[in-house]
Amino acid sequence: MVARASITRQPLVFLFRHERSKMTAVSLYMAPFRGITHKAYRNAHARHMGHVDAYYAPFVSGLGQGKIHPGKMIDLIPFTGNQAPVIPQIISNDPGEIILFGNVLYEKGYRHLNWNLGCPFERIANKKRGCGLLPYPNEIDRILNRVFSKVKIALSVKTRLGYDRPDQINPVLEVFNRHPLYKIILHPRTGRQRYGGKADPGKYAECLHLSSHPMVYNGDIYNHSQYKALQAMFPGQTEWMLGRGALINPFLAMEIHNVFLPDDQKRTRLDAFHNDLWEFAMTRISGEKKQIGWMKAVWHYLSGIFSAGKEAFEAIKRSHTSKAFEKAAHKAMQGDFAGEDQIRIHFLSLTR
């Protein structure tokens, strides 16, 4: 284990009336999914499922260094519109852009910004953004030097093992150790893997020993049993990020906290959650086609919570009117809930 850097971390204060007064031993965060987990989704999940300590918002990009266009802030402002703690995220290789965003967020009430160094998609990575910046540790060092000289907001990083090689994280961690990062969220895959293949918990264990910062495990937590298996591998790990597993099973955070609802209560909460999402789509998304399209994106994952989810999603995909969608969704919601192994199979089907 390397010696921990001498870093003073300011405590983060979330101004939410209903936030837990006493943190549990395990902290759970929901990963951002661009196009799905915007404010309406986050708030609906917080109302009906909860048990998430903070929701990471989908990344903001293309801000420039002048005045931020109001459209870039619509998912984050007003700060009081969040019904649970939210961490904004930026994807950029421009320190001026990160400084601008961080300082504006601080003025609006936020105290924590996350820098995305993990997005694996080629259109992002080819521009040396997201995981495409990981092969360039000196560039990351330059950016962090400038950012930390100008911002008040705490900065964390969400990253991967590398762009095309898992050893690319090693010199990057050396850079991170020289800066007062709040925490590091690590998904133990390379960018080239995207979400396919297997995550590498062994490499995560190596990174734990190399890092002087608090670490958050992110990757392939798709049911309670898988979480327990990872917890056994990392008994000292207290911070975890849930991704696609929580989109498939919105009760996952609750279950990790050992709260298991009977099926009738699960169905009632899931129905209320779904109704909130559909109401948002109908009132805030323009055009029936786009409204249904967003709900289909939600159901791409959510269908896996039902044992007959594949058939249910096929029916939803065939719906082209609001009436047809509502009928297909209603029928799907009456189905039996999937067991852990069925959820695992659905999860793995999405990673190929």
Residues 300-326: tens digit of each pLDDT: 999 999 999 999 999 999 999 999 999
pLDDT of residue 19: 33
Cα dihedral across residues 122, 126, 127, 132: positive or negative = positive
Say if residue 14's pLDDT is above 50: no
Give me the residues paired with residue 86 across strands. Answer: 55
Task: Find the mean pLDDT for residues 249-261.
Answer: 97
| Residue whose pair of structure tokens reads 């909460």 in the numeric block | 269
pLDDT of residue 208: 97
| Residue whose pair of structure tokens reads 């990062």 in the numeric block | 181
11-20, 172-181, 267-276, range with the lowest pLDDT:
11-20
| Residue whose pair of structure tokens reads 């759970």 in the numeric block | 28
Task: Find the mean pLDDT for residues 38-45.
Answer: 98
pLDDT of residue 135: 98
Say if residue 73's pLDDT is above 60: yes
Nearest to 93 by CA among 66, 133, 120, 55: 133
Q: What is the DSSP string of 264-294?
A: HHHHHHHHHHHHHHHHHHHHHSSSHHHHHHH
Average pLDDT, the chain: 92
pLDDT of residue 56: 98
pLDDT of residue 195: 87
Q: Cα 225 to the chain's mean position, in Å?
A: 20
Say if residue 81's pLDDT is above 70: yes
| Full-model pTM | 0.92
| Residue whose pair of structure tokens reads 């395990």 in the numeric block | 26
Binned at pLDDT 50, 70 and 90, residue 23 comes out as very low
Say if residue 171's pLDDT is above 90: yes
Express as a percent the part of the chain with pLDDT over 70.
93
DSSP run (H or E) holding 122: helix 122-125
First to last CA, the chain: 35
Cβ–Cβ under 8 Å, residues 193 and 222? no
Say if residue 175's pLDDT is above 70: yes
Per DSSP, the three-state class of 22 is coil
Binned at pLDDT 50, 70 and 90, residue 50 comes out as very high
pLDDT of residue 196: 86
pLDDT of residue 352: 64
pLDDT of residue 266: 98
Question: b/e string for 199-228 if b means 16 or more Cβ within 10 A?
Answer: bbbebbebbeebbbbebbbbbbbbbbebbe
Per DSSP, the three-state class of 88 is coil
Q: What is the largest distance, in Å, between two alpha-carbon atoms of the chain?
A: 61
Cβ–Cβ under 8 Å, residues 35 and 58? yes
Per DSSP, the three-state class of 206 is helix
